[in-house]
Amino acid sequence: MSRLSEDVRASLRLFAFYLANGTIDMELLEDIDYRPALMEFGSPLEMVFTIFTNVLEVDENGMVTNEGNAQRRAAQWIRHHCDPSYEVDPPFQAWETELIGP
């Protein structure tokens, strides 16, 4: 089994970053402030995408093999972000929260 390529993960992470900063397709969305409708802060959403895509695995045919696990790990991070007393089990490994790209 393999994970999504670093290039794909970086693209998804940057999409989330630009979306959260209100800088996605500035020509099309120039006069529209969509951020309040989508999120309050961008960094938490960026980490959610990061964890989901870092944990997501695909087989040799490109088929996702662990979507539920990837969603659960992202949900655990959200829970901990909203409730610091929540202990993530098992604790996150460095590769799960590694930001890929510039």
- As averages over each run of 10 residues, the pLDDT of the chain (102 residues) reads 73 77 74 66 77 85 80 81 86 95 77
Q: Distance between CA atoms of 54 and 22, rounded to whole angstroms?
A: 24
**pTM exceeding the 0.75 threshold for the entire prediction:** no
Amino acid identity for residue 19 in this structure? L
Bridge partners (DSSP) listed for residue 12: none
How much is the pLDDT for 22?
Answer: 76
- Report the candidate in 6, 9, 4 with the shortest Cα–Cα distance to residue 62: 4
How much is the pLDDT for 36?
Answer: 64
User: Which residues does 61 contact at the CB level (< 8 Å), separation at least 6?
Assistant: none
3-state secondary structure at position 24: coil
How much is the pLDDT for 7?
Answer: 74
How much is the pLDDT for 25?
Answer: 73
Q: Distance between CA atoms of 84 and 102, rounded to whole angstroms?
A: 29
How much is the pLDDT for 40?
Answer: 64
